[in-house]
Amino acid sequence: MPTTVAIVVAAGRGERARGPGDIPKQYLSLAGASVLEHALRPLVQASQIHSIRVVIHPEDRDLYEACVGPFTAHLGPPIAGGETRQASVCAGLEAVAEQHPDRVLIHDAARPFLAVELIERLLGTLDRTPGAIAAQPVTDTLKRANPEGTIIETLDRANIWRAQTPQAFHFPGILAAHRRAKAEGHDGFTDDAALAEWAGLEVSLVPSRSTNMKLTTPEDLTIAERLLAPLSPFTETRTGSGFDVHAFAPGDHVWLCGVKVAHTHRLEGHSDADVGLHALTDAILGAIGDGDIGEHFPPSDPTWRGAASRVFLEDAARRVATLGGRITNVDVTLLCEAPKIGPHRAAMRESIAGMLGLETPRVGVKATTTEGLGFVGRGEGIAAMAVATVVLPL
Ligand code: CTP
Ligand code: MG
């Protein structure tokens, strides 16, 4: 598989969206997460992307640290941007050049509604062309006006597209084009496709949705809030539940919610037998009506022998993202007499939050004994229950 890096440009000042005293738009909070986090989530979830770097304004370091939250572990160090978007992208490309990636996906931090499915189509198109960008055919009738706002002419909108991001390229080609543009003093290309076009690189258009909007004006911020509001007429909320049991076997540790816990036994299972993550994976799959863990990862398939269960959970999260949805909260209950969960609860919540790209307050982990009753009470194994809430676009 070719190596792909994602570069997210977030070094702009957001002047057009900014009210007095506002911070730059990419750091504003939208439905409980920063615009930047929304932009990063699908990139974290897309399995074809190997590393992600964010280009920021040097003055924004503290805002950045405070805003990337659960994604910190997925990101390389931030890169200092430049005066223009073009300069910021160029700085990002130079910073990753020594890794010699095959492909790059360049995305605006100001576009918080990116769908994983679009990333997949863009990268798929790169098999055939050196460049592929998200874009939308223009549907409005286009007018050219004089400075006073009176129509001079009506333009033919046939074959006219609105360019969005992500914009995906074969890395060596776009790096060379950016270097040449910089060397020749061109600094005003507002997107990378324009720069590629200038450099003679062929770029394909990949149809995208208008929801993949760029937040530019205060009105855009209001629209984005409405799109994400839990009771928005454009979304519905769904809940799923999951349950799982694993028996104890001789061993010295168990995996629970992604955390290795020393114990007098291990849990028996085909994968790492992380009963908490299995119940949670099923809860998420249940919320989107997409089968269960056994269907997607059959125990009969040797690929999953000893697998870390985060693979299953991340796959379920990706399925939600592919639908354009997002997980809003999850809650896991572990049923066991031992080991004690309390000392590990914070680590378990952090671990799940990291895998799902959620803020920790949206993740619950609880435990209970069964008062000595039943198989759990007899210490024969551990059971787990989970629920997940998912918001999906209608
Ligand atoms: N950008 C950047 N470096 C710049 C200018 C822009 O990284 N010098 C980024 C922005 O952070 C944004 C994207 O490029 O994610 C698209 O730019 P735009 O929407 O114009 O954002 P701003 O430049 O921040 O906004 P404005 O032009 O209103 O100031
Ligand atoms: Mg700008």
CATH numbers and ranges of domains, the chain: 4-231 (3.90.550.10), 235-393 (3.30.1330.50)
The response to whether residue 216 sits with its C-beta less than 6 Å from ligand 1 reads yes
Which atom of ligand 1 lies nearest, measured to the CA of 12? 24
User: Does the C-beta of 112 come closer than 6 Å to ligand 1?
Assistant: no
pLDDT at residue 23, rounded to an integer:
93
The answer, yes or no, to whether residue 303 has pLDDT greater than 90, is: no
Give me the mean pLDDT over the 268-279 stretch: 96
From the CB of 10, is ligand 1 less than 6 Å away?
Answer: yes
Q: Is the CB of 81 under 6 A from ligand 1?
A: yes
User: If you average pLDDT over residues 360-371, what whole number do you get?
Assistant: 96
Backbone Cα Rg of the chain: 24
For residue 232, the model assigns a pLDDT of 66
Residue 364 has pLDDT above 80, yes or no: yes
User: What is the whole-number distance in angstroms between the Cα of residue 252 and the centre of ligand 2?
Assistant: 56
For residue 336, the model assigns a pLDDT of: 97
Strands 4-10 and 103-108, bridge-based pairing: parallel
Sign of CA dihedral 197, 169, 221, 76: negative
Residue at token pair 């897309």: 46
The per-residue pLDDT of the chain, averaged, comes to 94
- Residue 11 CA to ligand 2 center (angstroms) comes to 9
The residue whose C-alpha atom lies closest to atom 23 belonging to ligand 1 is: 12
What is the position in ligand 1's atom list of the atom closest to the CA of 16?
28
Ligand nearest to the backbone CA of 110: 1
| CA nearest to 56, candidates 9, 94, 103 | 9
Q: What is the whole-number distance in angstroms between the Cα of residue 214 and the centre of ligand 1?
A: 10
Ligand nearest to the Cα of 114, by number: 1
pLDDT of 318 higher than 90: no
Least confident piece of the model among 136-145, 167-176, 202-211, 351-360: 351-360
- Give the Å distance between the CA of 135 and the centre of ligand 1: 18
Q: Which of 15, 35, 63, 85 has most ligand 1 atoms within 8 Å of CB, for mutation?
A: 85
Ligand 1 neighbourhood includes 108 CB (under 6 angstroms): yes
| φ, ψ dihedrals at 329, nearest 5° | -160, 155
Pocket test for ligand 1, best of 7, 108, 189 (most atoms within 8 A of CB): 108
What percent of the chain is modeled with pLDDT above 70? 99
Does residue 124 have a pLDDT over 80?
yes
User: Which whole number is the average pLDDT over 109-117?
Assistant: 94
CA–CA distance, 211 with 276 (Å, rounded to integer): 35
Confidence category of residue 315, pLDDT binned at 50, 70, 90: very high
The mean pLDDT value for 109-131 works out to 96
Distance CA 13, CA 7 (A): 18
Please give, one letter per residue, the 3-state secondary structure of the chain: CCCEEEEEEECCCCHHHCCCCCCCHHHCEECCEEHHHHHHHHHHHCCCCCEEEEEECHHHHHHHHHHHHHHHHHECCCEECCCCHHHHHHHHHHHHHCCCCCEEEEEECCCCCCCHHHHHHHHHHCCCCCEEEEEEECCCCEEEECCCCCEEEEECCCCCEEEEEEEEEEHHHHHHHHHHHHHCCCCCCCCHHHHHHHHCCCEEEEECCCCCCCCCCHHHHHHHHHHHCCCCCCEEEEEEEEEEEEEEEECCEEEECCEEEECCEEECCCCCCCHHHHHHHHHHHHHCCCCCHHHHCCCCCHHHCCCCCHHHHHHHHHHHHHCCCEEEEEEEEEECCCCCCHHHHHHHHHHHHHHHCCCHHHEEEEEECCCCCHHHHCCCEEEEEEEEEEEEEC
In this predicted structure, what is the pLDDT of residue 227?
80
Mean pLDDT of 36-41: 94
- Determine the average pLDDT of the residues in 141-146: 96
| Percent of the chain predicted with pLDDT > 90 | 82
For residue 333, the CA-to-ligand 2 centroid distance in Å is: 47
Residue 7 Cα to ligand 1 middle (Å): 14
Looking at residues 278-286, what average pLDDT do you find?
98
Single out the residue of 60, 87, 79 nearest to residue 8, CA to CA.
Answer: 79
pLDDT in tens, 70-82: 888 889 999 999 9
Query: What average pLDDT score do residues 6-33 get?
Result: 91
Ligand 1 centroid distance, CA of 86 (Å): 10
Residue 246 in contact with residue 272, Cβ under 8 Å? no
Residue 21: its pLDDT value, please? Answer: 77
pLDDT tens digits for 220-272?
998 898 887 765 667 889 999 999 999 999 999 999 999 999 999 999 998 99
In this structure, which residue's CA is closest to atom 7 in ligand 1?
11
Residue 262, judged by CB atoms within 10 A of its CB (0-12, 13-18, 19+), counts as: exposed
Task: Tell whether the model's pLDDT for residue 193 goes beyond 80.
Answer: yes
Cβ partners under 8 Å of residue 365, min gap 6: 257, 276, 331, 332, 334, 341, 345, 348, 349, 352
Give nearest CA residue, ligand 1 atom 16: 108
Q: For 383-388, what is the mean pLDDT?
A: 98
Find out whether the beta carbon of 14 lies less than 6 Å from any atom of ligand 1.
yes
Report how far residue 331's alpha carbon sits from residue 285's, in angstroms, rounded to the nearest whole number.
14
